[in-house]
Structure 1
Amino acid sequence: MMEVDKKTFETEVLQSAGTVFVDFYGDGCVPCQALLPVIHGYAETYGDKIKFCAINTSKARRLAIGQKVLGLPVMAIYQNGQKIAECVKEDATPEHIEKMIQDYYK
């Protein structure tokens, strides 16, 4: 799983060919920390066809707001630079996240 920041987000996510999964997390977000091992497991399982990235919104607040990430956790799928699916806050459960990944695992 690739860690991106405000300098590399555009290149690694918005300009990337194919499907990109982005884990938006924050330093003080307990649910984000709880989901971390689950997301790493999904990266191992589905990483052959989907690029997995994570960005710490505590260090990239403007970028997060620009991507309409206003609460955490947020898991999003991007294709051709566009956010096409996301799981937000209470919906960001392992089951919902895996279902979203499977929908774009092609």
Structure 2
Amino acid sequence: MLYLSLKFRELVLPVLVDFWAPGCQPCEMLSPIVDKIATQYGDRLKLIKINVEKSFSIPMHYNLDCFPTLLMFNTGQVVEKIVGTIPEAVLMKVIRKHLTA
């Protein structure tokens, strides 16, 4: 049996990146939903939050100009892009389809 260290496992987990801006009402509405999902799937999903006012080169790299925007990465590739606020159930459905068993 192959033992995978937690560090290695974290490297291969799907990653959800939340691009948000301070004072952005839709961002503030989506944030607790994203946090809840990250907590619920914390062993199978890595969450990164990026304040676009402090790290503007990253959203520019992905041609993002509306916030909030969520990018789901799997094996280093963007597999989903969600722009704006969506219901928790819809977001969970999108995320679950990318989680490995």
Where does residue 95 of structure 1 map in the other structure? 89
TM (norm. structure 2) is: 0.79
The answer to whether the 8 Å contact 2:71/2:79 transfers is: yes
Is residue 71 of structure 1 aligned with residue 66 of structure 2?
Answer: yes
More helix by proportion, 1 or 2?
A: 1
Matches of 2:92 and 2:23, distance apart in 1: 24
- Secondary structure class of the residue paired with 1:44: helix
Contact preservation (8 Å) 1:75, 1:97: no
Q: How many aligned residue pairs are there? A: 90
- What is the CA-CA distance between 1:70 and the residue it aligns to? 1.3
Query: When the two structures are superposed, what TM-score results if normalisation uses the length of structure 1?
Result: 0.76
Query: What is the percent sequence identity of the aligned residues?
Result: 27
What are the ranges of 5 or more consecutive residues in structure 2 without an aligned counterpart? 1-10
For structure 1, which runs of at least 5 residues remain unmatched after alignment? 1-15
